[in-house]
Amino acid sequence: MPLVNTAEIMNAARSANIGQGAFNVIHLESAEALIRGAELAQTPVILQISENCVAYHGGLEPVSLATLAAARNAAVPVAVHLDHAESEDLARAAVDLGFGSIMFDGAHLEYDDNVAATRRVAEYAHAAGVYVEAELGKVGGKDGAHAPGVRTDPVEAASFVGATGVDALAVAVGSSHAMLDRSAALDIELIGRIRAALDVPLVLHGSSGVSDENIVAAIEAGMTKINVSTHLNGFFTRAIRQYLEENPEVVDSRKYLARGREAMAAETARLLRLFAGRRP
């Protein structure tokens, strides 16, 4: 199955009124785990490489070329996406490298500056046939995202999409990045109002902090792309920790990384089935 453009996966999910999983790559083992999980679920997947991940690896190419190669060898449709790029240069570099989509995060900018920067990035990406996601309404740390007023306004969202030409919009509706528990309370009514105001798919960031039931409700209310990172990383890390506790003499890192990879793949498959409405 060749590497596919993100638009193909997103359009199919939206047409079917289901959720599409988009999961973050940290290193090659996580990319392999996410692809294996998608193969187990027989479901497409979007692999995300964040600006933080790029910084960790010392540049865009090392982790991206490995992820793109892994995606090309998958047995199911896989797209590769740049997540939370605050740098316009990084977004352009991902387009040039062959990513299927980019997310330009100008939420830290003033509204007019966000519009201008996002429009520039969108024009560059669209010229290469690359799908573009943006963010309106900051999805930040736990306190910030749950503070009063930190929500996306449907009218402003419609104006923003019209002014920038983006293909999908990440919105602030109560979730938060890097949560270690799944206690975030989503504003389902707001999701419905934003969905009614827009004709582009909505994206839920910070889904690691949201329960299965709330994610399903969000999808039913109009969410399409569901981003998960911390939750899956927890499965990877706990499996490695258990293996090392059981095998304190091991020195071959492949042995414990393989255990983490297996655990992440299993949970990836479960989430993809859940988002697609295929509950056990």
Q: Report pLDDT for 125.
A: 98
Which string of DSSP letters, residue by residue, matches 132-172? EEEEES---SHHHHHSTT-S--HHHHHHHHHHH--SEEEE-
The DSSP string of 205-259 is: --GGGS-HHHHHHHHHHTEEEEEE-HHHHHHHHHHHHHHHHH-TT---HHHHHHH
Which position has the higher pLDDT, 207 or 70? 70
Encode pLDDT of 168-200 as tens digits. Answer: 999 988 655 444 445 456 788 899 999 999 999
* Dist CA 171 CA 192 (whole Å): 12
Q: Return the residue matching tokens 């740098």.
A: 87
pLDDT digit string, tens, across residues 72-127: 999 999 999 999 999 999 999 999 999 999 999 987 888 899 999 999 999 999 99
Of residues 83, 105, 153, 167, which has the active-site annotation?
83
Mean pLDDT for the stretch of residues 236-250: 97
Q: What percent of the chain has pLDDT over 70?
A: 89
Q: Residue 213 pLDDT more than 80?
A: yes
Higher pLDDT, 186 or 67: 67
The pLDDT of residue 106 is 87
End-to-end CA distance of the chain: 26
Q: How confident is the model at residue 147 (pLDDT cuts 50, 70, 90)?
A: very low
Cα–Cα distance for residue pair 207/186, rounded to 1 Å: 10
Is residue 245 scored above 50 in pLDDT? yes
Would you state the pLDDT for residue 59?
A: 97
The pLDDT mean for the chain works out to 90
Strand 168-171 versus strand 20-24 pairing type: unpaired
**83 part of the active site:** yes
Question: With bands split at pLDDT 50, 70 and 90, how would you rate the model's confidence at 203?
Answer: very high
What does the block give as tokens for 8? 């193909």
pLDDT tens-digit map of 38-58: 999 999 999 999 999 999 999
Query: What is the mean pLDDT of the segment spanning 151-179?
Result: 83
Radius of gyration of the chain (CA): 18
pTM across the whole model:
0.92
